[in-house]
Structure 1
Amino acid sequence: MPNAIPTTELYLIAMAIIFCVPYLIWRLGRTDYFAPLVVVQIVTGILLGPGVLGAIFPDYYQFVFTKDVIQSLNGLAWWAVMLFVWLAGIELDLGEAWKQRRESAVTAGMALGMPLVFGSLAALALIQFPGWIGEKAQSWQFVLGIGMAAAVTALPILVLLMEKMDILRTPLGQRILRYASLDDIAIWAVLAVVVMDWARLERQAIFIAAFVPACFLFRRFMTRLPERDRWYIALIWLAVVSFGADWCGLHYMVGAFLAGVVMDHHWFDRDKLDTLRHNVLLVMMPVFFLSTGLRTSWEVGGAVVFLAAGFLLAMQILGKQAGVHLAGRLLGWKRGEASVIGWLLQTKALIEIIFATVLLDKGIITSATFTALLLMALASTMLTVPIVTPKLQRMRELISRDA
């Protein structure tokens, strides 16, 4: 029996739910200390998905989230996440990291390498059981993909959390940004290798051969334009590079990051870039969070998925803390610095979800693994502020006492 309500009206009902429910939970529940609005939106996306709302109220879920509505939401979600990843690429400042290259390289390398090892060990354990590795994955892709998922740091969310804790513009905050920026480059490079379609090597060679000279021409062209024109050309560049990356067998999100990372943030007004990032988070990303929730699965059993998420969470925290503490010993940091930096760098949220979405799209992980990674990302992000805030307070007391 065809739906009595037009698709446009169902779409608007879905949009109202997407924006209303997380806002009410965040505002009335006063969750901001441990769960910022962006985290609540991700949790709400899971709750609205087929594994929770769809299981409890299947008729209601099928009534609102029809195939046409989901297709429309997915189109908006694709563009939202492309914009978000593109902005993350633009905002990487590798110049400062180069000035402090020894400290930055040691810390970023340890902060990425150790959780990569611990996460890969966790993947080797999971691969022994059915239901975790994707149908299109080779074992090395699954192990490396899960390992890197354990090492991810969500740079944009890290910025928001450090703003909240009033340390973003401090020397400590700028150091952490340098470490996270270097790790961001490595994460996307490894992702490109993991998702590479080896049957399309010819296309990938064509893409690289075209992309490198296009970058030089694009950069020269952009510096000659007034800022108002740069915004439009940059969006065209985003769409073209993302298409090229997807066409050659990588992924459109990898292309979006490449499109952003070759651009200089000083081409644009800093306040306008910040405003655009906040507006994308406010206006568009909630739709991506819902589309993420629609892809969660509990097929291997809800308790098993939670156990896997807890296992992955423990391994990535151990790896991140071990790596950063080792870097602190090598570089002679003050007492307490390594713990604070380690906990801030294990913030995952959006980038982890984006990373896991690419792995799912490419058939490297299953929906159950995707759900476990999503839960791990939420838990690691929600732990950050409650754990770091008292540590920062103790550090400030130590600094003032030493002075």
Structure 2
Amino acid sequence: MEFIFYLVLILLSTKVAGDLSVRLGQPAVLGKLLAGIVLGPAVLGWVHADAFISYFSEIGVLLLMFIAGLETDLDQLRKNWKASFAVAVGGIILPFIGGYGVAMTLGLSNTQSLFLGLLLCATSVSISVQTLKEMNQLNSREGTTILGAAVVDDVIVVVMLAVMMSLLGTEDISLGILLSKKILFFIVILVAGWFAVPWVMRILAPFRVSEAVMSGALIICFSFSYFAELMGVAGIIGAFAAGIAVSQTKFRHDVETKVEPIAYTLFVPVFFVSIGLNISFQGLGNQILFIVLVTVIAVLTKLVGGGIGARITGFGNRSSLAIGSGMISRGEVALIIAASGLESGLLPQNYFTSVVLVVILTTLITPPLLKIVFPKKAIAAEATE
């Protein structure tokens, strides 16, 4: 029954910490992330990452991205696809160059430096999504550009990872098969989203059981996520696509009002706390310089790279800065890449913990930075509606 005790601590601490964060003028998500650090091995050691935390946090992040898909303005997303592509490309080129350069400067081998550069290319916008949602900006032009860029970023980085592990690592990966799987994923998702999802929702709606529509929506969400993972795409992209598909049906409002209580009451708080549980300060004394330099490079290159991509596609300076800020968090995508690198020998064992800490620091930096740089006019306009 230890997991019940964990659940009590997580739910209580995230609500208290989130409230304190808002009172201090910061997004609630920042307090929730810090709650994980305090509860975890880094400070109190009351909660430890285990199977329960892993499963609940995975469901939490999938529901978070499903909700983001439900609330996404598809017309706005279509209008901003060029900007999303430019932001993703800019947010890959500069981090790759910066990561490679700082790693070589710190004495890592050429192969290890290439891998670190690739790892810094990753983007996970789950934290940005929550922050934008709190600010009522998830559906703004900047918000939809960040979401679109995250999808493009994920595909490019996964392909780059496969190429690198094939050429430099121990795995024999066919690039043709990999690209075919990505293309197949998007074809199947588009067809299923257009035809199968409305049909499934209509079939399940008349069922004389409790919450048939909500159950159907969750089946679609988790099916899309599972299929994404099978095709080598992050599960959160599948969940996001599922949310968009369900949002195009007449059941959108019903699903949206019912999925949020499920997500934010139980699963999403566990996801926020799980990020902080990965932090441990033991044995990091001789790697402080590495952590500081790589974190600075990780933040600046995404901020500038994504910002340049937004600027050249018509966004103003403030909006470009906001979009670059929304791409900073590496989150669970980078953690998965780091684990793959460790397993294949591309990331040295003695640097793994430091890299995880860098990833978490980028995640902690994102919410307050977004709140600071997001265009004030857009926030004010939303507040008056």
Give TM-score, length-normalised by structure 1.
0.70
Aligned partner of residue 33 in structure 1, secondary structure:
coil
Q: Which residue is equivalent to 2:159?
A: 193
Change (3 A) 1:79 1:129: farther
Cα offset, 1:145, TM superposition: 3.1
Query: 1:195 and 1:241, CA in 2 relative to 1: closer, same or farther beyond 3 A?
Result: farther
| Equivalent residues of 1:131, 1:368 under 8 A apart | no
Distance in 1 (CA, whole Å) between partners of 2:378 and 2:213 is 45
Work out whether 1:113 is the aligned partner of 2:89: yes
The answer for the alignment partner of 2:304 in structure 1 is 318
Q: Give 1:156's aligned residue.
A: 129
Equivalent residue, structure 2, for 1:303: 288
RMSD of Structure 2 on Structure 1 (CA): 4.1
2:58 aligns with 78
- Stretches of structure 2 that go unaligned for 5 or more consecutive residues are 166-170, 206-211
Distance 2:213 2:195 in 1: 12
CA distance in 2, matches of 1:213, 1:387: 38
The aligned amino acid for 1:82 is L
Pairing of 1:219-298 with structure 2 (within 5 A): 219-224=194-199, 225-226=201-202, 228=205, 229=212, 231-247=214-230, 250=232, 253=235, 256-257=238-239, 260=242, 263-267=245-249, 268-270=251-253, 272-273=255-256, 276-277=259-260, 279-298=262-281
**Structure 1 residues 191-247: Cα deviation after superposition (integer angstroms, max 9, x where no partner):** 432454864659866796588458635642332343735543443344344444445
Q: How far 1:393 moved relative to its partner?
A: 5.8
Percent of aligned positions that are identical: 16
Q: Which residue of 1 aligns with 2:146?
A: 180
Classify 1:131/1:85 alpha carbon distance in 2 versus 1 (closer, same or farther; 3 Å).
farther
What residue number does 2:325 align with? 346
Deviation at 1:45, TM superposition (A): 1.2
Distance 1:200 1:84, change over 3 A: farther
- Aligned: 1:384 with 2:367: no
Matched, 1:216 2:187: no
Deviation string 1:62-107 (CA, Å, 9 cap, x unpaired) is xx64xxx722222222222222234434544443343x36xx51x3
Gaps of 5+ in 1: 1-7, 55-60, 398-403
| Cα pair 2:21 2:30 within 8 Å, conserved | no
1:50 alignment counterpart:
41
Mapped contact 1:153–1:348 kept (Cα < 8 A): no
**TM superposition shift of 1:371:** 1.5
